[in-house]
């Protein structure tokens, strides 16, 4: 192999990712090439010193994500969301009244839904998804019209 | 990680994505645990600040996981994820820049610690010095080096993350390494 070909492989060699057969070829080249060897030394130092995520980051991310009752749209599963005829106007009124969509935060919906005793939701077991807390979320799916009305009223208060 | 290990990660990603699409929240936790360090490093490489990098890694990972339905599998999941995290970090950097000077410029080391290799052991000062020099590279070169060395991405994958062609990613990487070696000789 030429020096440029070796140089392309050095990051994998320095980090121990290179397959054994190629690793032998690179090692032989480095034994006789001062320039490539110096470059390998820099790359090895870089790799050894790569920072790791701070402790607790994964848990922090997972906690932030666990606010919705389903992970992602399920393949091949059609949602059966019973939307009462007054739900959209009520939601629009709610947004206008409060002036910010922040009230749609799923955690608040969950808290209120739990308070209503309609849908026991374990926050530690659920994630938010793109289609959000309002559209098709099980938190609201299972609420009766009466409970949903109470929810809208409470959020709007 | 050898090439076969990289394949194992991709295979693991594939299995986890399948479980996630079936609605298994545990799969999302596992994806986060598997890729959090890479996401953090990419964000740190752009932002140069640990707290900001954690924020960007979190926001980027959540954005990606919430939008899994949009992942078409054209690239590997990790490449796709890291591109989203990088965008999130750049976005945060722009917001920060409106309020203050670039943190990377602020943190350029005045006099770099002198280090060296003794008895086959890389001294802590040398390690810190090399990472500090990496932080001095322009963003695309810095990311190209980081993604190639730290994450083991191919040049094509590096290009996908930094928004360039495979050839440009290779050029950025080699320019970055050359500059770092020049600084190390000073």
User: So where are chain A's domains?
Assistant: 3-48, 57-156
Enclosing domain of residue B90: 1-101
Domain count, chain B: 2
Q: Over range B12-17, report the average pLDDT.
A: 87
Q: Which of B81, B101, B121 is the last residue of a domain?
A: B101
**Does residue A69 sit in helix, strand or coil?**
strand
Domain shared by B80 and B42, yes or no: yes
Domain shared by B121 and B92, yes or no: no
**Phi, psi dihedrals of residue A21, rounded to the nearest 5°:** -60, -45
Domain shared by B76 and B152, yes or no: no
Q: Over range B44-55, report the average pLDDT.
A: 94
Which is more confident, A29 or B102? A29
**Which residues numbered 62-91 in B keep a CB inside 8 Å of some CB on A?**
62, 65-70
Q: What is the reported pLDDT for B26?
A: 87
Q: Which of B53, B78, B101 is the last residue of a domain?
A: B101
Q: Choosing among B7, B66, B144, B157, which should be mutated to test the A contact, i.e. which has the most A CBs within 10 A? A: B66
Domain shared by B144 and B64, yes or no: no
Q: What is the reported pLDDT for B58?
A: 95
Q: Which residues of A touch B25 (CB under 8 A)?
A: 66, 71, 125-127
- Closest CB to B184: pick one of A19, A42, A125: A42
Q: Which residue of A has its CA nearest to B171?
A: A8
Query: Given CB atoms, is A70 within the 8 Å cutoff of chain B?
Result: yes
Which is more confident, A115 or B11? B11
Q: How many CB pairs under 8 A join A and B?
A: 144
Give the model confidence (pLDDT) of B130-177 as tens digits.
Answer: 989 999 999 999 999 999 999 999 999 999 999 999 999 999 999 999
Count of C-beta atoms within a 10 Å radius of residue B158: 26
Domain shared by B83 and B154, yes or no: no
Domain shared by B96 and B154, yes or no: no
Nearest of B93, B115, B91, B92 to residue B104 by alpha carbon: B93
Q: What is the reported pLDDT for A69?
A: 40
Q: Which residue of A has its CA nearest to B43?
A: A53
Domain shared by B136 and B65, yes or no: no
ipTM: 0.79
Domain shared by B2 and B85, yes or no: yes
Q: What is the reported pLDDT for B100?
A: 64
- Closest CB to B149: pick one of A15, A57, A72: A15
Confirm whether B75 is domain-assigned: yes
CATH number of the CATH domain containing B158: 1.10.10.10
Q: What is the reported pLDDT for A146?
A: 67
Expressed in angstroms, the distance from the first to the final Cα of chain B is 33
Contact call for A16 and B33, based on CB within 8 A:
no
Nearest of A138, A112, A57 to residue B62 by alpha carbon: A57
Give the model confidence (pLDDT) of B114-137 as tens digits.
Answer: 333 344 455 677 888 898 999 999
Domain shared by B172 and B94, yes or no: no
Domain shared by B90 and B151, yes or no: no
Q: Which of B79, B101, B123 is the last residue of a domain?
A: B101
Q: State the pTM of this model.
A: 0.67
Domain shared by B147 and B86, yes or no: no
Token pair 């810095």: residue: B142
Q: Residue B66: pLDDT band by 50, 70, 90 thresholds?
A: confident
Domain shared by B153 and B93, yes or no: no
CATH number of the CATH domain containing B17: 1.10.1740.10
Confirm whether B108 is domain-assigned: no
Query: Given CB atoms, is B127 within the 8 Å cutoff of chain A?
Result: yes
Average pLDDT, chain B: 84
**Which residues numbered 4-33 in B keep a CB inside 8 Å of some CB on A?**
4-6, 20-25, 27-29, 32-33
All residues at 6 or more sequence positions from A89 whose CB lies less than 8 Å from its CB, including other chains = none
Tell whether the model's pLDDT for residue B10 goes beyond 60.
yes
Q: Which residues of A touch B180 (CB under 8 A)?
A: 42
pLDDT by residue, tens only, chain A of 157 residues:
899 999 999 999 999 999 889 999 999 999 999 999 999 999 999 999 899 999 999 999 988 887 544 444 544 444 444 455 556 666 666 555 555 444 444 444 444 444 444 444 454 555 655 544 333 334 445 556 666 666 666 655 4
């Amino acid at each position: 192999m030429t020096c440029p070909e070796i140089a392309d492989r050095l990051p994998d060699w320095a980090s121990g990712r290179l397959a054994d057969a190629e690793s032998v070829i690179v090692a032989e080249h480095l034994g006789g090439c001062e320039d490539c060897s110096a470059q390998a030394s820099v790359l090895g130092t870089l790799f050894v010193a790569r920072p790791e995520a701070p402790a607790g980051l994964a848990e922090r991310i997972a906690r932030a994500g666990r606010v919705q009752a389903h992970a992602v749209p399920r393949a091949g599963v059609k949602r059966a969301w019973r939307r009462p005829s007054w739900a959209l106007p009520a939601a629009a009124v709610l947004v206008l009244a409060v002036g910010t969509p922040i009230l749609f935060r799923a955690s608040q919906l969950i808290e209120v839904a739990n308070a209503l005793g309609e849908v026991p939701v374990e926050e530690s077991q659920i994630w938010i998804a793109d289609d959000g807390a309002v559209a098709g979320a099980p938190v609201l799916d299972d609420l009766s019209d009466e409970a949903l009305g109470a929810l809208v009223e409470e959020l709007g208060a | 990680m050898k090439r076969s290990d990289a394949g194992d990660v991709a295979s693991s990603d594939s299995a986890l994505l399948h479980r996630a699409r079936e609605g298994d929240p545990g799969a999302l936790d596992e994806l986060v645990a598997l890729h959090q360090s890479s996401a953090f490093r990419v964000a740190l490489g752009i932002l140069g600040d640990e707290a900001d990098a954690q924020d960007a890694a979190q926001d980027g990972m959540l954005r990606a996981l919430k939008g899994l339905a949009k992942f078409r599998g054209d690239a590997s999941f990790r490449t796709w994820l890291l591109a989203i995290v990088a965008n999130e970090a750049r976005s945060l950097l722009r917001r920060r820049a409106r309020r203050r000077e670039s943190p990377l410029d602020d943190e350029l080391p005045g006099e770099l610690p002198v280090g060296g290799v003794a008895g086959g052991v890389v001294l802590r000062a040398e390690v810190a010095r090399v990472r500090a020099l990496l932080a001095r590279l322009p963003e695309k070169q810095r990311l190209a080096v980081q993604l190639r060395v730290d994450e083991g991405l191919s040049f094509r994958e590096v290009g996908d993350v930094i928004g360039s062609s495979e050839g440009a990613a290779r050029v950025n990487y080699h320019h970055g390494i050359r500059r770092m070696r020049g600084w190390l000789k000073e």
